């Protein structure tokens, strides 16, 4: 494999564009910031993939020239590696990045828009915060110094992320209190039986392995609603941690309470006290999936193998 596909090349390129992005942001050159921030994230994502295996850079279509190049069979003049979105998707499948991050998706879309001269940025979108947060997540995975990576911009990054964390926690706390008040006001002058009857009419919370409306599989986990205190559910995707002993763990990707209708998604989960990883077990600690199912789903995050091998169990 040539140096153009090495970890050091991708990492150095990510660092170079990160510095340029921060400088562009300080000079209020928004288009240049978005372009360079997106390129930096793409190259850092590819550095993480190469660190695992160079084969994770491969596109799963077209000719085998890139495969032969990576395997050292023969050199090719034109290499086709995954783009930013596919690289990020693979890091999500591997549990390195959260399974859903609308802000990161928007940053990459804006990067692509700038490159094609049709980007439109909303006033509420904080591209700098997204850039710093996602970059630090990947640097932590690589066990690389964030201070060395950001250099003279380290203080600005720390301030940005501190403000982002406080804002997210404040917004989530506000929404929890609003949901709590709506729930309280709705049943304030009614007998307790009215609330119990209302809860009984809510959709059944069938925990465990489920097929979603998008024909994807997920595990529904029990969780106490932070707003109304009733039983609610967390939606978890494929296992990101497989253990020799004990159940697999997964990223929770969404939260929904059918009683007070409080919802959480993406980075809001941690602000509401939901851990980054959760074991795929019920309230008694019993596993929802067998060891084989955990491994199959971990190796094929789309869930296709699991659906093929255990469709009767999932559908039932």
String of DSSP letters for 207-234: -EEEE-TTS-EEEEEEEE-TTT-SEEEE
pLDDT of 117 > 50? The answer is yes
What pLDDT was estimated at residue 121?
Answer: 59
pLDDT of 309 > 80? The answer is no
Over range 228-232, report the average pLDDT: 92
What pLDDT was estimated at residue 69?
Answer: 59
Higher pLDDT residue, 72 or 180? 180
What pLDDT was estimated at residue 119?
Answer: 55
**For residue 73, what pLDDT band results from cuts at 50, 70 and 90?**
low
What pLDDT was estimated at residue 311?
Answer: 44
Residue 279 host element (H or E): strand 278-279
pLDDT of 62 > 70? The answer is no
Strand 278-279 relative to strand 231-241: parallel, antiparallel, unpaired? unpaired
In this structure, what token pair is assigned to residue 11? 């990492």
d(CA 155, CA 153): 6
Over the range 95-130, which residues count as b (16 or more CB within 10 Å of their CB) and which as e?
bbbbbbbebbebbbebbbbbeeeebeeeeeebbbbb
**Bridge partners of 221?**
234
**For residue 58, what pLDDT band results from cuts at 50, 70 and 90?**
confident
Percent of the chain with pLDDT over 70: 86
Predicted TM-score (pTM) of the model is: 0.70
Over range 248-257, report the average pLDDT: 91
Over range 193-222, report the average pLDDT: 86
Residue given tokens 């990161």 in the structure block: 104
Over range 34-40, report the average pLDDT: 95
pLDDT of 63 > 50? The answer is yes
Mean pLDDT of the chain: 86
**For residue 315, what pLDDT band results from cuts at 50, 70 and 90?**
very low
Over range 55-61, report the average pLDDT: 76
What pLDDT was estimated at residue 66?
Answer: 60
Q: Chain-centre distance of CA 124, in angstroms?
A: 20
C-alpha closest to that of 264 among 100, 33, 95, 61: 100
What pLDDT was estimated at residue 313?
Answer: 44
Over range 96-117, report the average pLDDT: 83
Give the tens place of pLDDT for each residue, 161-197: 999 889 989 999 999 999 999 999 988 888 888 888 9
List of domains in the chain: 3-144 (1.20.120), 198-315 (no CATH)
- Reduce the DSSP state of residue 236 to 3 states and report it: strand
What pLDDT was estimated at residue 5?
Answer: 80
What pLDDT was estimated at residue 242?
Answer: 87
The answer to which of 57-71, 83-97, 193-207, 289-303 has the lowest mean pLDDT is 57-71
Strand 263-265 relative to strand 278-279: parallel, antiparallel, unpaired? unpaired
- C-alpha torsion 92→97→103→107, nearest 10: -80
Please count the CA atoms within 13 angstroms of the CA of 233 that sit on its side-chain side.
16
- C-alpha torsion 274→279→280→284, nearest 10: -100
What pLDDT was estimated at residue 221?
Answer: 94
C-alpha closest to that of 98 among 132, 57, 138: 138
């Amino acid at each position: 494999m040539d140096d153009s596909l090495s970890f050091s090349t991708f990492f150095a390129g990510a660092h170079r564009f990160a510095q340029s992005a921060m400088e562009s942001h300080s000079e209020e050159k928004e288009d240049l910031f978005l372009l360079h921030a997106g390129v930096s994230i793409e190259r850092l994502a590819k550095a993480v993939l190469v660190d695992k295996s160079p084969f994770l850079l491969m596109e799963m279509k077209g000719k085998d020239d890139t495969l032969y190049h990576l395997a050292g069979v023969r050199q090719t003049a034109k290499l086709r590696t995954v783009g930013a979105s596919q690289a990020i998707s693979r890091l999500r499948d591997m549990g390195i990045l959260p399974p859903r991050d609308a802000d990161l998706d928007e940053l990459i879309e804006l990067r692509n828009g700038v490159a094609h001269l049709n980007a439109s940025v909303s006033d509420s979108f904080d591209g700098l915060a997204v850039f710093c947060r996602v970059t630090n997540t990947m640097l932590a995975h690589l066990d690389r110094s964030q201070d060395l990576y950001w250099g003279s911009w380290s203080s600005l990054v720390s301030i940005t992320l501190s403000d982002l964390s406080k804002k997210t926690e404040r917004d989530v706390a506000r929404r929890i209190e609003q949901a709590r008040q709506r729930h309280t006001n709705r049943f304030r002058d009614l007998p307790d039986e009215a609330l119990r009857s209302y809860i009984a009419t809510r959709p059944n919370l069938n925990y465990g392995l489920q097929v979603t409306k998008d024909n994807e599989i997920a595990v529904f986990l029990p969780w106490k609603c932070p707003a109304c205190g009733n039983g609610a559910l967390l939606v978890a995707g494929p296992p990101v941690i497989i253990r020799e002993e004990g159940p697999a763990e997964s990223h929770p990707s969404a939260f929904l309470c059918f009683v007070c209708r409080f919802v959480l998604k993406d980075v809001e989960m941690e602000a509401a006290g939901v851990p980054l990883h959760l074991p795929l077990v019920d309230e008694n600690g019993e596993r929802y999936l067998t060891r084989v199912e955990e491994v199959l789903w971990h190796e094929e995050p789309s869930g296709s193998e699991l659906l093929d091998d255990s469709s009767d169990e999932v559908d039932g």
